[in-house]
Amino acid sequence: MVNVQDGSGQPMSYYPIPMELTIGYTDEMLSAAGFSNDMAAKLNIYRWDGEQACYIYIGGVVDLDQQSVSMPINLPGQYILAIDEIPPEITSFKVSDHSSTPVITYEILDNFSGIDISSITFSLDETEYVH
């Protein structure tokens, strides 16, 4: 859990100057999570988002020698290390109002949210639609 207070002792909800977060891991931790040691390079940092009720992909730089993952952060909260190898699944895909401005609805299922929602696009009849 990362929490920082300002000079008057009040909790900060945003860090204007990013802080470097480093989370360590051990071979035993990887093994307990069902991963082999050679999977460490795939570790990333995720932050819990209470509003969306899921972990949000943050990224990270893996240092295999120091067995750690680091990333600048500017928000307080709960951070974890994880490996997300399962691709997202699109379900309940529907197109309604087949006019020049169709309505597209869908659900995306993912173990972690390593998906940048703003980067999702769909093509319909070779026309690209942005989320």
Does the pLDDT at position 117 exceed 70?
A: no
Over residues 12-67, the pLDDT tens digits come to 999 999 999 999 999 999 999 999 999 999 999 999 989 888 888 899 999 999 99
Q: Which residues pair with 2 in a beta bridge?
A: 77
Dihedral Cα 47, 50, 53, 56, nearest 10 deg: -20
33 and 74, same domain (yes or no): yes
28 and 59, same domain (yes or no): yes
Q: SS3 letters for 45-77?
A: EEEEECCCCEEEEEECEEECCCCEEEEEECCCE
50 and 96, same domain (yes or no): no
**Which residues are within 8 A (CB) of 50 and not within 5 positions of it... i.e. 6 or more apart?**
none
Over residues 53-100, the pLDDT tens digits come to 888 889 999 999 999 999 999 999 999 999 988 878 888 888 888 787
Give pTM, 2 decimals.
0.75
**102: confidence class by pLDDT, cuts 50, 70, 90:** confident
- Indicate the pairing of strand 103-109 with strand 89-96: antiparallel
- Parent domain of 96: 89-130
Q: Which residues pair with 128 in a beta bridge?
A: 123
23 and 59, same domain (yes or no): yes
